[in-house]
Structure 1
Amino acid sequence: MGKNKVVPLVLLSSVLLAACGTGSNSGANEGEKSAPKTEVKKDPYTMLIYAAGVSKEEFDKRFRATLEKKFPHITFNYQTSGTGNNITDLVTRGEIPDIIRTDIPTLRSGYLDLNLGVDLTPYVTKYKYDLNRFNPVFINEIKDYTRDGKLYGLPVPPFFPNVLYYNKDLFDKFGVPYPKDGMTWDEVYELSKKMTRMDGGKQIRGFSANLTGMLRDNPFSQAILDSEKDGLTDTDKWSKVFSNLKRFYEVTGNEYPKTAADDMNMFGKGEAALSANLHSVYLVIPPEINWDIVSLPTMEGAPKRVSQRGPAYWALTETGKHKDEAFEVVMQMLTDEVQMEDSKQGIPTTLNNKDIQNALGTGHSLYKTKNMKAVSFYPPTDPTPKRKPGLVDVPLSSQQSAVSAAFLDYVSGKADLNTSLRQLDEKLKGLVEAEKSKK
């Protein structure tokens, strides 16, 4: 797998002309022509850009035109992941990209451990690049990852805020008022009970969820693996997260299905009235579902922020021969103009710019009919604490599998709350030991 106004060119030109008038005080004889400005011709070359999981079609649509206009001497060779073409394959073949799209889950294994890391701080200073353009949550997340303050990338959309989807037709059919922005989990729980019912012999579930996302991107921004020691972090908060979600599946008729995938897919089948899930342009809901969204509910004791999967980051590589120009390319891909077009297509911006945030979905045939303000109803929550330097880390995918399995044991009645959390703690310690053995 969102935090600069442009001076109008006409106005700027008028000011310059007024300041450089042709009168006797201009410092030049009337009619004198200035020497023509000579453009420095740049040698052509090819720049390789790599982004795992992002299709060539998406890259071309979002970035290619602006890059080719700004840098006509550069041929942009874009590659994405696939069999035999993952980043480790490219490094092994010596085909190392100039720019790579990384993210927090793969920052170490797919970037730093491959000795590709470049601290962008000197380039930010050299080009006077304003990091305050971005939501500070996203800058802090990548700086905090290694705890050395180095900036290994700049945040590129999309990020994936959690929202609450609802089926308008089901609410209309049962005469229940729609959910609203700013609700609490307690209010949504009561609403889910009203919407859980039989309809013509068909069981309608009041609530479903992308549980992987709900657990990973939980209301407390709670890490799974403790940042200071081996094992589960803050059992008390995990108890609240588990207990909050489990009660929805204790409602008669809304029992937990066989798998997490079954649960997540209920909404798209028209069998669930509510669904807690990510807002993502990659999430396709069948057109026959008449849906809308509101902000994700908040939990007592947790901040009123939206939990989210963070963005990816454009990063340079240590072996790149054109680092300065690569940084300029990154800046171009993150301009207000590019992010405004992204936002109009439903891709949440990584910038603080309110105009860009408010434009979310306005240029998209489907999203322009939805309550897209729900996505930014609350600001993004702070990043989860990262592991202390010197402590062995565990891939996030393995941590997610462990916490999902523990919740499944709890929600299915195989283990009580304390037992499921104790077993999760033991599992995480085992995963750490397994990683140590690989060193």
Structure 2
Amino acid sequence: MYRRRIGGSFMKWRTIVLPVLTAAALALSAGCSNGGGSADPGTTSSDAKSKVAADTGTPVTLKVAFFSSQDTFKQLTQNPVIKQKFPNVTFQYIKYADLDKAIAAGDAPDLINGIVSALADLEERGLKYDLGPLAKLLDIDLNKFERKKLEGIRSYGRNGELFGLPDNLEETSPYNTFALVYNKDIFDKFAVPYPKDNMTWDEAVDLARQFVRTDGGTEYKGLVAHAAPHFLAAQLGIEFVGADGKVNTSDPKWSELMRVNKRISVEQGGFLPKGGDLTHFYKTQNVAMYAGDAGDLFRSPDKFGASFQWDIATYPVFPGMAPHTVVGPNGGMWAVGATSKHKELALAVLDTILSPDVMKSIPNYDWWNHPNVQSKRLEALKNPNYPTTRANAYMQKYNLKFRAEIAKATESVSKDGVDINTALRTFQESFQKIIDADGVK
């Protein structure tokens, strides 16, 4: 039922920002084709390489949607290797959070840097582009990437298209940074044993309940599960809309998703944090555990401070699920925008960025060797298992809308007391209306 995939990334910039965009006609055409643009069938290897040479020899600006700060962006794009190989190329920084604004203003990016799960949203933005054919024409060696990592990215293509490349090389492949992070000081304060590996979500909630109290004027909680509704749906491998465009919540996985989300909130006194990410967990320091992507703790350990005492266990699983099953390929990725006029050059630049000389110049690229990380239980990040669900045309198109709708449904159960069956029925009806309104058959 489950298979293995990958993790790890050089990205020290990691926020989950998933905006929206675009027209129904895009999904209609994509649903009937390969799911995104790709190299012109008539293009030869010589043609592609000539285009790179021509673009390299003249001033060209590549627009880059980038997750991290502008300082980090400059550090990467002004690397001596990049500057020597592409002296006439300048790079325009687009903050990833402003991606939709840039597209609306006619500044769609040539290159996109983000988390792998953001690949599911490229179709709605009109940016999805299959790199496979062009990579072959440009003789790009895909063997420098870990095989399972490429498989994970290909799972976002309906026919195994390669809509992005991993943002790191093979040597980090054993790690996936989805984990259960725990604040050791809080556990020690209340004399509670630390979490164990391979706990179920029910066991994690049972453990969390021991911290729901007020002490010294501070209100404590036990567990925050980052982006729980859609992350847990992904962990369960839920097909949230079928290949026929129909929404069907009869699979028992749906009820299990709602049940666990309800427990996480209701059994902690209705705990629904608005800022349920890792930074919020660190800043408040009144929650004992965080379940989600802990990549920032590993790639930017200094920003969390040496006084923050933490460690990790494996990401919780559902009953009957293979141990250490996580959400998906949570590393970073690079993609070439489908609307770029310089696709060949963009991919050639990307190939250079993803070379050992450039990679190893990035701060904390070898984060597993950082003194503040070496003491942690890194074995909890190794060799995870992954759901096998491959996104169909409708899942690709409606990924963002699904996240919004399932969040409403789970909140209606946790906050408003709606029973699970009613909430699922309401979700199914409302989500189906969204799909039907586009007229996509």
The two structures have a TM-score, normalised by structure 1, of: 0.70
Aligned partner letter, 2:270 = Y
Residue in structure 2 matching 1:147, options 158, 163, 169: 158
Aligned partner letter, 1:381 = Y
**Structure 1 residue 209 and structure 2 residue 225: aligned?**
yes
Partner of 1:430: 433
Bigger relative contact order, structure 1 or 2, given CA contacts below 8 A and separation 6+?
A: 2
Partner of 1:261: 274
Aligned partner letter, 1:99 = L
- In structure 1, C-alpha distance between the alignment counterparts of 2:385 and 2:74, rounded to whole Å: 28
Aligned partner letter, 1:422 = R
1:388-434 per-position Cα deviation (integer Å, ceiling 9, x unaligned): 4xx59654332112111111111235211111111111121122123
Residue in structure 1 matching 2:206, options 173, 179, 190: 190
Partner of 1:291: 310
Residue in structure 2 matching 1:313, options 319, 328, 334: 334
Mapping 1:90-129, distance limit 5 Å: 92=106, 97-101=109-113, 103-112=118-127, 118-129=129-140
Distance 1:137 1:336, change over 3 A: same
Moved more, 404-413 or 420-429: 404-413
1:349-402 per-position Cα deviation (integer Å, ceiling 9, x unaligned): xxxxxxxxxx43434x7545544443x2343624643234xx596543321121
Counterpart secondary structure, 1:206: strand
Residue in structure 2 matching 1:326, options 346, 361, 365: 346
Is residue 64–residue 112 contact of structure 2 (8 Å, CA) maintained in 1? Answer: yes
Is residue 278–residue 308 contact of structure 1 (8 Å, CA) maintained in 2? Answer: no
- In structure 2, C-alpha distance between the alignment counterparts of 1:196 and 1:118, rounded to whole Å: 47
Aligned partner letter, 1:261 = K
- In structure 2, C-alpha distance between the alignment counterparts of 1:270 and 1:231, rounded to whole Å: 40
Residue ranges of structure 2 left out of the alignment (5+ in a row): 1-6, 9-52
Partner of 2:94: 80
- How far did 1:153 drift? 2.6
- In structure 2, C-alpha distance between the alignment counterparts of 1:65 and 1:340, rounded to whole Å: 11
Aligned partner letter, 1:126 = L
- How far did 1:329 drift? 1.3
Is residue 405–residue 427 contact of structure 2 (8 Å, CA) maintained in 1? Answer: yes
1:25-45 per-position Cα deviation (integer Å, ceiling 9, x unaligned): xxxxxxxxxxxxxxx997342
- In structure 1, C-alpha distance between the alignment counterparts of 2:57 and 2:261, rounded to whole Å: 59
Aligned partner letter, 2:290 = S
Q: Percent identity?
A: 23
Partner of 1:55: 69
The two structures have a TM-score, normalised by structure 2, of: 0.70
Mapping 1:220-369, distance limit 5 Å: 220-232=236-248, 235-251=251-267, 254-257=268-271, 259-261=272-274, 265=280, 268-281=283-296, 289-304=308-323, 305-308=325-328, 310=330, 311-315=332-336, 317=338, 320-321=341-342, 323-340=343-360, 345=364, 359-363=366-370, 366-367=372-373
Aligned partner letter, 1:169 = D
Counterpart secondary structure, 1:314: strand
Counterpart secondary structure, 2:123: coil
Distance 1:232 1:52, change over 3 A: farther
Partner of 2:186: 170
Distance 1:247 1:144, change over 3 A: closer
1:62-90 per-position Cα deviation (integer Å, ceiling 9, x unaligned): 34305434414333222204769844245
Residue in structure 2 matching 1:396, options 375, 399, 402: 399
- In structure 2, C-alpha distance between the alignment counterparts of 1:233 and 1:367, rounded to whole Å: 42
Distance 1:209 1:171, change over 3 A: same
